[in-house]
Amino acid sequence: MQFSLKRAHLSAASCIIGLVLFASCSEETSTPAPTPTPSLYDRVGGITMVSDPSNPATMIEKGRLTLRSVVDSSILVIAADPKMAKYFPVLFAELGAGNTTGLSRLSKNFTDFMCLATGSKTYTYSGLDMKAAHDPAKNSRIPMKITAADFDAFVGNIGVGLAKNGVTAANNAQLVNDLVALLNTTKADIVQQ
Ligand code: HEM
């Protein structure tokens, strides 16, 4: 009796060990958690802090720095494009008079918008929504509604702005395509004629 009790204990113990081993084995063989797909914001630099070349002694997320640089380069390309001039008389008149307030606000708002749209969790956008921003009835800074052809030309100008910052179809076609696709998601709201 004593002998069989011992055996019963032993076999119960080996069952438990077996179950534990089985459980741990099955854990090891289960599918590993998928690596999260990097957001577009991550792909343009993400949250790594770098020093801000425009503001001495200030740090900035690398993702925001890339997007701000692309926005600022693109604004210059847009300003030099004769097809765009008719949309920006307010901004250009201010600049002609040496007033850069509107330019700084546009740069900040456009950069905030791009940060948020690409997946930044740090920045927020407090400007007008895309429909209102491009509707002369809601935004006195734009005198006319935008055509589909001019929207495409504007996105082309942002492509030039990207290239000026080292992102080209030749060296990063996927990133260019994904950013252009993101911009094109705003087309239905922005083209209003
Ligand atoms: C490609 C997608 C576009 C995005 C993401 C975009 C984004 C923006 C943003 C964030 C603002 C600032 C809104 C505010 O301050 O509340 C803005 C303003 C403006 N946008 Fe766009 N935009 C786009 C396309 C266009 C196009 C195609 C045109 C004209 C061809 C255009 C002309 C303007 C003008 C004239 C303003 C007002 C500028 C000023 O404040 O003086 N945008 N846009």
Per-residue tens of pLDDT for the chain, all 193 residues: 444 444 444 444 443 444 343 444 444 567 888 888 999 999 999 999 999 999 999 999 999 999 999 999 999 999 999 999 999 999 999 999 999 999 999 999 999 999 999 999 999 999 999 999 999 999 999 999 999 999 999 999 999 999 999 999 999 999 999 999 999 999 999 999 9
Our answer on whether the CB atom of 150 is closer than 6 Å to any ligand 1 atom is yes
| Residue 171 and residue 114 in contact, taking contact as beta carbons nearer than 8 Å | no
Q: What distance in Å separates the CA atoms of residue 183 and residue 181, rounded to the nearest whole number? A: 5
Alpha carbon of residue 75 to chain centroid: 18
Our answer on whether the CB atom of 115 is closer than 6 Å to any ligand 1 atom is no
Q: According to the model, what pLDDT value does residue 35 have?
A: 84
Q: According to the model, what pLDDT value does residue 132 have?
A: 98
Q: What distance in Å separates the CA atoms of residue 120 and residue 189, rounded to the nearest whole number? A: 22
- Count Cβ atoms within 10 A of the Cβ of residue 82 and give its class: 0-12 exposed, 13-18 middle, 19 or more buried: exposed
Best residue among 116, 142, 179 to mutate for probing ligand 1, ranked by most atoms within 8 Å of CB: 142
- Count Cβ atoms within 10 A of the Cβ of residue 155 and give its class: 0-12 exposed, 13-18 middle, 19 or more buried: middle
Please tell me the distance between residue 133's alpha carbon and the centre of ligand 1 in angstroms: 6
Our answer on whether the CB atom of 146 is closer than 6 Å to any ligand 1 atom is yes
Q: According to the model, what pLDDT value does residue 30 have?
A: 78
Please tell me the distance between residue 61's alpha carbon and the centre of ligand 1 in angstroms: 23
Please tell me the distance between residue 131's alpha carbon and the centre of ligand 1 in angstroms: 10
End-to-end CA distance of the chain: 94
CA 71, 75, 81, 85: dihedral to nearest 10 degrees? 130
